Amino acid sequence: MKKIGAILVLAAMLSGLSGCEKSRVPYDVEQSTSFDGQTAVESQTTEPQTIEEITTEQPVTIKTLEDRAYEILDNMTLEEKVGQMFIARCPKENGEMLANKYHLGGYILFGRDFKNKSIEEVKDDIISYKNAAKIPMLIGVDEEGGIVNRVSSYSQFREEPFKSPQTLYAEGGMERISSDTVEKCDLLHSIGINMNFAPVADVSVDSSDFIYERTFGKDSEATAKYVSKVISIMNQKNMIGVLKHFPGYGDNEDTHTGIVYDERSYDSFLNSDFLPFEAGIDAGADVVMVAHNIVYCMDDIYPASLSLKVHKILREELGFEGVIITDELSMDGVKNFAEDERIAVLAVQAGNDLLCCTEFETQIQAVIKAVENGEITEERINESVFRIILLKLKRGIIQ
């Protein structure tokens, strides 16, 4: 009798299940019902199921961002992949056409893209670039505050330019740094910008240093706290931040105008320059920019931006897993190491994911050719493009 009773109870439960309305679930999660704590994929037929079929646990497929990134990558051509590795200076004309033709990963906007334009005109420009691209673009600016402001330098965007980190801290400490970062992110988002090339993580306490005015102006410990705070807020505001300029500018000259040699010891980097970068990475920085300085203690031949050794330090010793980006490849501090069409090839071989450049039309073709002739493997390209696509997914640029 007990056995018969149990069978009747089980039959009643199964009958109840068959009449239940299906729950609504995300499109990429298989619909399922529950039976005695077990998961079972619902039948697509009206035929009765056996008890064994219903109670067998089945996997539920939920796509992660990584899964989605690989899915997108698998459906890209070589030309599309290489194009994604370039974040180009926005051209004066034909921005939409060029973004589409070369499958560009993004545009960097400079002062000329905001000067004498209304807010609505800039918004329309950015929308046109984004709409032209098959894969949504990164749209970046250098809005550091102080002497480097691409947007707030023009009164139609803000009554006064954003102040430097040093001035902000003198006015109100970290609280003032925080409120300024929030306002900066809000302004940039409002016009369609999703990437700010800030904060400057270089350590400088000497006002005679080239980089001093752009830095926090304090020692490595204080700079590390500043960088961590800014990156944390940028992440909360869903703004891509860029730590720059790894491995640390120090007291060196300007790489925009010539080759710079850094003769400091490795210990000086370990005990000072690396600390703000480590703090930013720990806070969740998405991107790190590598400078063009030749740092003898790391690589006495190539600038940091073209050095496999420097990139290995950033990846392995500092544990950075995000996107590595070059400084502008047209700078004099790096141009002497190769012809224009070779600079990008060296940059990819060194381990960069994103390449900042103005002459992207020439350099994209050079990288494609280097892959086709075996000088660069497609696997190497895939590593970088995966990181770029994952970043765009993470920040909602790709929906």
Active site positions, annotated: 256, 327
Name the helix (H) or strand (E) containing 332. Answer: helix 332-335
Q: What angle do CA 248, 328, 168 make, to 5 degrees?
A: 55
Burial 287-315 (b: 16+ CB within 10 A, else e): bbbbbbbbbeebbeebbbbbbeebbebbe
Q: How far apart are CA 315 and CA 201, in angstroms?
A: 17
Strands 106-108 and 138-141: parallel
Q: What angle do CA 350, 351, 355 make, to 5 degrees?
A: 95
Which residues lie below 8 Å from residue 329, measured CB to CB, with a gap of 6+?
Answer: 305, 335, 343, 344, 347, 355, 356, 357, 358, 359, 363
Place of tokens 């190539």: 302
Token pair listed for 168: 């902000």
Omega of the bond leading into 165 within 30 degrees of 0 (cis): no
Helix 165-190 × helix 220-236 angle, to 10° = 20
Nearest to 248 by CA among 284, 190, 285, 297: 297
Place of tokens 């691409």: 150
| Alpha-carbon separation of residue 193 from 140, 141, 350, 385 (angstroms) | 6, 8, 28, 21
**CB atoms closer than 10 angstroms to residue 63:** 13
Place of tokens 């306002």: 183
Q: How far apart are CA 362 and CA 327, in angstroms?
A: 18
Q: How far apart are CA 243 and CA 307, in angstroms?
A: 18
CA atoms within 13 A on the CB side of 302: 15
